[in-house]
A and B are shown apart, each in its own frame.
Chain A
């Protein structure tokens, strides 16, 4: 987990939600939700099933529109410039977003191309090895277990190197070693000045962690 310490820290960033209200059908999931995160901060969104954690994350990335309120990234509303916002965003949805017919390596290369990142074959392998996938690089992803798929996803998150991470249930299906690796990744991200918002039911101990109970 030490491969990233060499990369340069991010410039000071801020990510802010103001008076967010989310309505699904006739039900108001949450109202007037506000928070501010600055460089190096990490927000753990907690709550029971169906309370609106995933809906909140989808509002935060702009996949859905809030009933009221706004989301700002570096003090400009994300609605005004999605392209600039997406440049600095790494989102993990509740599905793995891996192509089952492609190998782990091909999936990683595809995401590099999608994010306009220059990724050499060697460094792609490095990322996969770092998450314990040595020897599985060329297997089609549908041969991997759920936990191994999650590790491919983590390799993707590490590879993208975005300052803002919004992760939905990133700990699902990971074993304790995978958890440790991921927590290391999160701490490293925070120490570089990155911002993270994640959901999950586990108790996580990271320095400077904020908790939001929905």
Chain B
């Protein structure tokens, strides 16, 4: 557990030293979501309808931007080797890195989402649902994304390949995340959506750290 907190703390410290990389992803999220109301105009009914999808797709893409950095710098300067050779559990260290990525690239989206929601004229109930789906869904995005980041580590043009690998795997999260907000707005029951998102999160938490750690071991061999 110490190793987990240590690596989270270290990664957050590194982010603080180089804020621009993270802010890029967050501004990307804000700008892409703001372009839609500007492009479509003041048709509030239409905006309300497309809001969940637009916000979720932007969240997927913003997470993807940050993913390339997840293991790359540690790989390039040799720190990843040292982690694999440390007496600490490599899986725990990998999970710590994924958690730090979520804290930096996923959590801020939750904080920004209410402001973005205003642009789409979302009411409080829909906003609450959106926040809850983001809370359950963005950790899954970071977890699944880490597999892609680990598999494409050290490849030339790995960024594009990673997007191709990871985006299809994001589809279930997108469907249930955006679907819940839409269902709520038309008055349907959303517990099913939340259960499935929760199940995806638990499943990803249970398996992904091991898969990513194995992929990283192959990358540093």
Contact = CB atoms under 8 A, between A and B. Distances in A.
B167 interface: no
A177 to B, nearest CB: 25
A interface bracket (residues with beta carbon within 8 Å of B): 20 to 34
A106 B17 CA distance: 12
Given A96-B77, A97-B78, A114-B82, A102 B88 contact: no
B85 A61 contact: yes
Those 4 A-B pairs whose CB atoms lie nearest each other, nearest first: A95-B78, A97-B78, A101-B17, A113-B6
Contact of B85 (A64, A86, A94, A96): A86
Given A101-B18, A102-B14, A114-B82, A87 B77 contact: no
B83 interface: yes
Given A63-B221, A96-B77, A115 B14 contact: no
Contacts of B87: 83, 86-87, 115-116
A114 B83 contact: yes
Interface of B: 2-3, 6, 10, 13-14, 17-18, 76-79, 81-89, 220-221
A19 interface: no
Nearest to B15: A101
A100 B13 CA distance: 12
Nearest to B86: A114
Nearest to B76: A95
A116 B2 contact: yes
A94 B78 CA distance: 8
Given A115-B87, A116-B87, A98 B77 contact: yes
Majority secondary structure, A binding face: loop
A63 B220 contact: yes
The interface residues of chain B, by DSSP majority, are classed as helix
A95 B13 CA distance: 22
A93 B78 contact: yes
A111 interface: yes
Interface string A44-61: 000000000000001001
A110 B81 contact: no
Given A97-B82, A102-B14, A110-B10, 12 more contacts: A61-B85, A83-B89, A87-B87, A93-B78, A94-B78, A96-B77, A99-B77, A102-B13, A113-B2, A113-B10, A114-B82, A116-B87
Given A102-B14, A102-B17, A97 B2 contact: no
A114 B221 contact: no
Given A63-B85, A63-B220, A95 B18 contact: no
B79 A91 contact: no
Contact of B81 (A83, A97, A106, A115): A97
A86 to B, nearest CB: 5
15 contacts: A58-B221, A86-B85, A86-B87, A91-B81, A93-B82, A95-B78, A95-B81, A96-B78, A98-B77, A99-B10, A101-B14, A110-B6, A113-B2, A115-B86, A116-B2
Given A64-B221, A114-B6, A116-B2, A99 B79 contact: yes
A116 B103 CA distance: 24
A170 to B, nearest CB: 14
A63 B77 contact: no
Contacts of B220: 63
A89 interface: yes
